[in-house]
Chain A
Amino acid sequence: MSLTDAFRQRTAPQLQLGNRFRALPRSAKWSLSALLIVAFYLTPYWPDVPVLGWIINTPGTSFENVLTDQIMMFILVALGLNVVVGFAGLLDLGYVGFYAVGAYTTAVVTSGQFTLPWIAALPLSVIMAMIAGVILGTPTLRLRGDYLAIVTLGFGEIIRITANNSDWLGGPRGISKVPHPPSIGPLKFGVLNAKPYWYLGFTVILVVIFVLTRLEKSRVGRAWAAVREDEDAAELMGVDTFKFKLWAFAIGAAIGGIAGSLYASKVGFINPDNFQLQLSILFLAAVVLGGTGSMYGVIMGGFLVAWIPERFRGFSTRRYFVFGVVLVLVMVFRPQGIIPRRGAAAGIAQKGESDV
Chain B
Amino acid sequence: MIYRTFWDLTVSGIVLGLIYALVALGYTMVYGVLRLINFAHSEIFMVGTFGVLVSLTKVFGISLFDDGQYPYRSGFVLVAILVGSTVAAMVVSGAGAVVLERTAYRPLRGAGDAYGAVVLAFLTGLIASFLFSDHMMTNLAISAVITGPVSVVYVRIFRRGRQAPRLAFLISAIGSSMAMAEAVATWGPDQRSVYKTPRVLEKKVLVNFLGADVRIDYVIVAIGAILMMTSLLLFVNRTRLGRGIRAVAQDAETARILGVNVNSVILVTFLLGGAMAGGAAMMFTLVYDQTRFNIGFLLGVKSFTAAVLGGIGNIKGALLGGIVLGLAENYGSSIFGGQWKDVIAFVVLLTVLMFRPTGILGESLGKARV
Query: Which residues from chain A sit less than 8 Å from chain B, CB to CB?
Result: 2-4, 7, 85, 89, 91, 93, 139-140, 142-147, 149-151, 153-155, 157-158, 161-162, 164-165, 277-278, 281, 284-285, 288, 292, 312-315, 317-318, 320-329, 331-333, 335, 348-349, 351-356
B104 cross-chain contacts in A, Cβ below 8 A: 328, 331-332
- B182 interface neighbour in A4, A277, A321, A329, Cβ under 8 Å: A321
B180 cross-chain contacts in A, Cβ below 8 A: 324
Given known contacts A154-B346, A313-B134, A332-B120, is B165 in contact with A352 (CB within 8 Å)?
Answer: yes
B74 cross-chain contacts in A, Cβ below 8 A: none
Cβ distance A346 to chain B, nearest Cβ, rounded Å:
13
A150 cross-chain contacts in B, Cβ below 8 A: 37, 301, 304, 349
Query: Which residues from chain B sit less than 8 Å from chain A, CB to CB?
Result: 36-37, 103-104, 107-108, 110, 112, 120, 123-124, 126-127, 130-134, 153-154, 156-157, 159-160, 162-172, 174-183, 185-186, 297, 301, 304, 308, 339-340, 342-343, 345-346, 349-350, 353-354, 357, 370
10 more contacts with CB within 8 A, not counting A146-B37, A317-B186, are A288-B171, A314-B132, A320-B179, A325-B127, A332-B112, A349-B162, A351-B165, A352-B163, A353-B163, A356-B165
Q: When the two chains form their complex, are residues B301 and A335 in contact, meaning their CB atoms are under 8 A apart?
A: no
Q: How far is the CA of A143 from the CA of B355 in the complex (A)?
A: 11
A142 cross-chain contacts in B, Cβ below 8 A: 354
**Total A-B pairs in contact (CB under 8 Å)?**
174
A143 cross-chain contacts in B, Cβ below 8 A: 353, 357
Given known contacts A143-B353, A325-B123, is B130 in contact with A312 (CB within 8 Å)?
Answer: yes
Given known contacts A151-B350, A328-B172, is B166 in contact with A354 (CB within 8 Å)?
Answer: yes
- Report the nearest A residue to B178, measured CB to CB: A324
Q: When the two chains form their complex, are residues B108 and A332 in contact, meaning their CB atoms are under 8 A apart?
A: yes
Dominant secondary structure at the B interface: helix
A317 cross-chain contacts in B, Cβ below 8 A: 186
What are some 28 contacts across the A-B interface (CB < 8 A)? A4-B160, A85-B167, A93-B174, A142-B354, A143-B357, A150-B301, A151-B350, A154-B346, A155-B346, A161-B340, A161-B342, A285-B175, A314-B133, A320-B178, A320-B181, A321-B183, A322-B127, A324-B182, A329-B123, A331-B172, A331-B175, A332-B108, A332-B112, A332-B172, A333-B154, A348-B164, A352-B163, A356-B165
Q: Which of A162, A318, A332, A349 has the most CB of B within 10 A?
A: A332
- Report the nearest B residue to A319, measured CB to CB: B182
B182 cross-chain contacts in A, Cβ below 8 A: 318, 320-321, 324
- B167 interface neighbour in A145, A278, A321, A324, Cβ under 8 Å: A145
A326 cross-chain contacts in B, Cβ below 8 A: 127, 175
A328 cross-chain contacts in B, Cβ below 8 A: 103-104, 120, 123, 172, 175-176, 179
B174 cross-chain contacts in A, Cβ below 8 A: 93, 281, 284, 324, 327
Cβ distance B112 to chain A, nearest Cβ, rounded Å:
7
Q: When the two chains form their complex, are residues A145 and B157 in contact, meaning their CB atoms are under 8 A apart?
A: no
Q: How far is the CA of A52 from the CA of B35 in the complex (A)?
A: 47
Nearest 3 CB-CB pairs, A to B? A327-B175, A324-B179, A352-B163
Q: Which of A2, A278, A322 has the most CB of B within 10 A?
A: A322
Q: How far is the CA of A290 from the CA of B343 in the complex (A)?
A: 33
Q: How far is the CA of A142 from the CA of B354 in the complex (A)?
A: 8
Q: When the two chains form their complex, are residues B172 and A314 in contact, meaning their CB atoms are under 8 A apart?
A: no
Q: How far is the CA of A155 from the CA of B342 in the complex (A)?
A: 11
Q: How far is the CA of A22 from the CA of B167 in the complex (A)?
A: 30
A349 cross-chain contacts in B, Cβ below 8 A: 162
Q: When the two chains form their complex, are residues B178 and A278 in contact, meaning their CB atoms are under 8 A apart?
A: yes
B179 cross-chain contacts in A, Cβ below 8 A: 320-321, 324-325, 327-328
Q: Which of A162, A278, A331, A353 has the most CB of B within 10 A?
A: A331
- B349 interface neighbour in A93, A151, A352, Cβ under 8 Å: A151
A151 cross-chain contacts in B, Cβ below 8 A: 346, 349-350, 353
